[in-house]
Amino acid sequence: MKVLHLSPDGLPNTQIERCAQTGKKEGYSTCFAGPFIKGLSLPVKSFDKFYEAPFNKFANVKIPSYWRALKRKLSQILYEYHPDFVHAHNIVAAKLISEFQVPFVYDDHEYWPKYYKFRVNIRKPQKIFVYRLYARWGKEVLRKASATITVSETIAEEHEKLCSHVYVVPNFPSRIETESLKLDFVKNKRLSSVYIGLADFSSSRAHMPVPTRDTDGFLDFFLDNSVGTLTVIGDPKLLSSRNVNSLGVLPHQTAMKELARHHLGLLPWKKHWFHKYCNPNKPYEYAHAGLLVLAVSDLPCVMRRLGDYCVTFNDFDELKELLLYYAANLDEIRELRPKIRKFALKNLIWEKKCEPQILRAYSKM
């Protein structure tokens, strides 16, 4: 069997690479087509072949000349690689392949139509157009897909209204990513927290911070020494400051090793109605690094999967109280760390919980 992974996002991408690895272990040939290939996140060979495809902001909203160029390129790829089916990552890729006579799995990473609704300023006419376009595409591709994959039960319940075969695949880390992690029992006597996120702290109102990851005011917690230090991974524009250490973008495996040096993994967000659909990967990466997770209380998927190893808060006042408590009780966290790591290896691992669902989706091709 030959599988083409088609995505409007390029590589590296851990989510896409994990899916490809699942296919390769079953003996499938795997290929990637996307706008750029800048390397891989996982330290293994995930794809047998790569193609660059001209996805861009114009093609992604079906501007005719750009869409035609994208379709021509995909037609060439399909002719040359001749896949048995396509694993289409997100709405644009799914819409594109739906215009060909090729079976496909629709992998909805974000619940795109609803996500786009608040991701942009829809007061602008062009943004209203795109939101309505993606909402229509979402219904079309769900009806045409042989199977659909998504990240949470709440999204799956919505998709099952239009697609008969829907599978929940949380974005858990794989053994490849976690087996070499060593818990670094932090010798520092101060509480050390960590957060992974792209531009969640450095975004300005002019640059449209993502409302589901609203961290406005959180960094002020660290102006004094009462709640320890914060390390931020993944934000290339955030500058280090008092008690805040910004490491910028790190290679995936380097980031995983960095996590193991801290006490707490944070989701320091304000509540948002879309959180009931969210199932971000970072809390599971935190757990594999032995970190206790502090998360906003309207993330039911995260709370359900982490259980006692997810401590929730309703607002930033409660979050600060939690940080103050753990800053004064570091031994409590140190004792938890190996238990959290053991729990993650048993319950939050790609091979055990996600691969069977991927293969069930592939069986519908």
Please state, in angstroms and rounded to a whole number, the distance separating the CA atoms of residues 322 and 328.
10
Superfamily of domain 175-348: Glycogen Phosphorylase B; (3.40.50.2000)
Whether the full predicted model's pTM is greater than 0.75, yes or no, is yes
* CATH code reported for the domain at 2-172+351-362: 3.40.50.2000
How much is the pLDDT for 339? 97
How much is the pLDDT for 110? 80
Pairing label, strands 166-168, 147-150: parallel
- What one-letter code names the amino acid at 290? G
How much is the pLDDT for 212? 86
Share of the chain above pLDDT 90, in %: 81
Give tens-digit pLDDT for 34-82: 999 999 999 999 999 999 999 999 999 999 999 999 999 999 999 999 9
**CA nearest to 141, candidates 171, 83, 86, 99:** 99
How much is the pLDDT for 185? 63
| Beta-carbon contacts of residue 249 (< 8 Å; ≥ 6 apart) | 198, 233, 234, 236
Is residue 122's pLDDT more than 60? no
Burial 299-338 (b: 16+ CB within 10 A, else e): bbbbbebbeebbbbbeebeebbebbeebbeebeebeebbe
Give tens-digit pLDDT for 192-216: 999 998 878 886 543 456 788 889 8
Kindly tell me the burial class for residue 74, based on how many C-beta atoms sit within 10 Å of its own C-beta (0-12, 13-18, 19 or more).
buried
Q: Which of 114-128, 218-232, 240-254 has the lowest mean pLDDT?
A: 114-128
| Beta-carbon contacts of residue 116 (< 8 Å; ≥ 6 apart) | 130, 131, 134
How much is the pLDDT for 180? 83
Give tens-digit pLDDT for 249-287: 999 999 999 999 999 999 999 999 889 999 999 999 999
Domain boundaries, the chain: 2-172+351-362, 175-348
Burial 211-250 (b: 16+ CB within 10 A, else e): ebbbbeebbebbeeeebbbbbbbbbeebeeeebbebbeee
How much is the pLDDT for 365? 92
Q: Which of 17-21, 122-126, 266-270 has the lowest mean pLDDT?
A: 122-126
